[in-house]
Amino acid sequence: MTATPLPDHGIPYDRLRRARRAVALVFLVHGTVTGNFATRIPWVQDHTGLSPGRLGLALAFPAIGAALAMPLAGRISHRLGARTALRGLLALWTLSLALPALSPGLYALCPALLVYGAASGISDVAMNALGVETEDRLGRPIMSGLHGMWSAGALLGSAVGTVAAHAGWDARLHLAGAAVVLTLLGALACRGVLDLRSAPEEHPPPRFALPPRSALIIGAIGFCAVFAEGAGLEWSAVFLRDRLGTDAGPAAASTTAFACTMAAARLAGDKVVARFGPVRTVRAGGVLAAAGGLLIVAARHPAMAMGGFGLLGLGIAVVVPLAFAAAGRSGPAPSQAIAGVATLTYTSGLIAPSAIGGIAQASSLTMSFVLVTTLACGLVAGARVLRVPSRTASGSPRAATGDLERS
């Protein structure tokens, strides 16, 4: 049976399906790096002898590096082509996994984490931009599933890291070995992605481009979702322990359940988006997230709070993938717009844990989740900015001039 080419892009459908699987593997690899590193942070703290305050200072550097590097992604992809750029940037990210464990103290750890964050952010923009391009050519939603693969990778990486930590492995050997394996797997995955190149006459984006205004509006939706995600991941166990007197084991299990709920919802989210569209999906998700927030605020029993956290994770799961997809379609430079949305979401993820803690210190954890519930209501109010633009005469959501498949 011969492959059927898409009329608006001329790429065989079988080739596009292989490209979707390849970019999904890229997302899995990217998430696995994060999961491996997160589990070895205690080892890094012990190895460097840092106090909690100094460790917190060092852990701010990945977000700083990501925010500085992400606007460069569009220029690199324009110059090298999507496949070559992603291959190099993903390799930079996987290899940077080894750097933090090699740092003997704070003054080496901070620049190592800056490089680690920069590599994370710039490869994140490149893979999301390519995911949006692949979704447009397939003509059906795939971004939620791609982010679900990232979540699955993070869970896989954390499982490997937990085993390594439990076995007492030196993190330098563990993370260096993981870096080599993931670099090879990432290079294999990048062989199958679309090789999209800009036309010679197309002007390159600026070396350091500020996001367009449209991306800032979309990014505000992502901000709300990631703030709620950070609150759920970082504070769910603390809430159950301190607010409801739950034992440490069940309290910790609530965090794992929250992460698993998000991963499962993202993996299944594309079918929901295809049926109901991004706007109705995010509005319904906002309602679920707000209902979950209200359950948490009103909880008098651990089961009630855990149900609230489950609804919160379910409601926000697909918002960030849809925000990236909407940003990629909001103008002629997908990487630039995605970088703007990613910068806002990274910022939200950075400030959420400390903001929740500050409100809890000044008032209570219950009031902290009143804020989370309010932001979830913002998803309902702002969902319309994620609408899919009207298609051009060629059938594409935006003009695709200059993109050339060179497989």
- Contact in structure between 13 and 4 (CB atoms under 8 Å): yes
- Contact in structure between 142 and 128 (CB atoms under 8 Å): no
Q: How many CB atoms lie within 10 A of CB 199?
A: 9
The DSSP H or E segment spanning 325 is helix 319-328
- Mean pLDDT, all residues of the chain: 83
Residue whose C-alpha is closest to residue 109's, from 121, 99, 117: 99
**Could you identify the residue written with the tokens 């950070």?**
230
**Encoded tokens for 183:** 């670099």
pLDDT of residue 9: 54
d(CA 171, CA 163): 12
Q: Which residue has the higher pLDDT, 78 or 295?
A: 295
Give φ, ψ of 12 to 5 degrees: -55, 140
Q: Class of the 209-389 domain? A: mainly alpha
- Contact in structure between 339 and 216 (CB atoms under 8 Å): no
Q: Which residue has the higher pLDDT, 218 or 173?
A: 173
d(CA 258, CA 314): 8
d(CA 347, CA 386): 20
Position 72, amino acid: L
Q: Which residue has the higher pLDDT, 74 or 399?
A: 74
Write down the pTM of the prediction: 0.80
Q: pLDDT-based confidence at 97, cuts 50/70/90?
A: very high
pLDDT (tens digit, 9 = 90+) per residue, 101-149?
999 999 999 999 999 999 998 999 899 889 988 988 888 889 999 999 9
pLDDT of 394 above 70: no
Q: Which residues on neighbouring strands pair with residue 405, listed in sequence order?
A: 196
pLDDT of residue 297: 93
Q: Which residue has the higher pLDDT, 162 or 290?
A: 290
Q: pLDDT-based confidence at 59, cuts 50/70/90?
A: confident
pLDDT (tens digit, 9 = 90+) per residue, 11-25?
787 888 899 999 999
pLDDT of residue 376: 93
Residue whose C-alpha is closest to residue 296's, from 381, 345, 219, 356: 356
d(CA 73, CA 71): 6
Q: Exposed, middle or buried: residue 363 (CB in 10 Å: 0-12, 13-18, 19+)? A: exposed
pLDDT of residue 210: 56
- Cα–Cα distances in Å, from 364 out to 152, 357, 361, 368? 33, 9, 6, 7
pLDDT (tens digit, 9 = 90+) per residue, 337-380?
777 787 778 777 767 767 887 888 888 888 989 999 999 999 99
Do domains 12-195 and 209-389 share one topology? The answer is: yes
Share of the chain above pLDDT 90, in %: 37
Q: How many CB atoms lie within 10 A of CB 79?
A: 13
Q: Break the chain into its structural domains and give their ranges.
A: 12-195, 209-389
Left if phi > 0, otherwise alpha if psi is -120 to 50, otherwise beta: which for 12? beta
**Which CATH architecture does the domain made up of 12-195 adopt?**
Up-down Bundle (1.20)
pLDDT of residue 404: 37
pLDDT of residue 289: 95
**Encoded tokens for 323:** 């925000």
CA end-to-end distance (rounded Å), the chain: 21
pLDDT (tens digit, 9 = 90+) per residue, 201-215?
455 555 555 566 767
Question: 401: which residues sit within 8 A by CB, 6+ positions away?
Answer: 199, 202
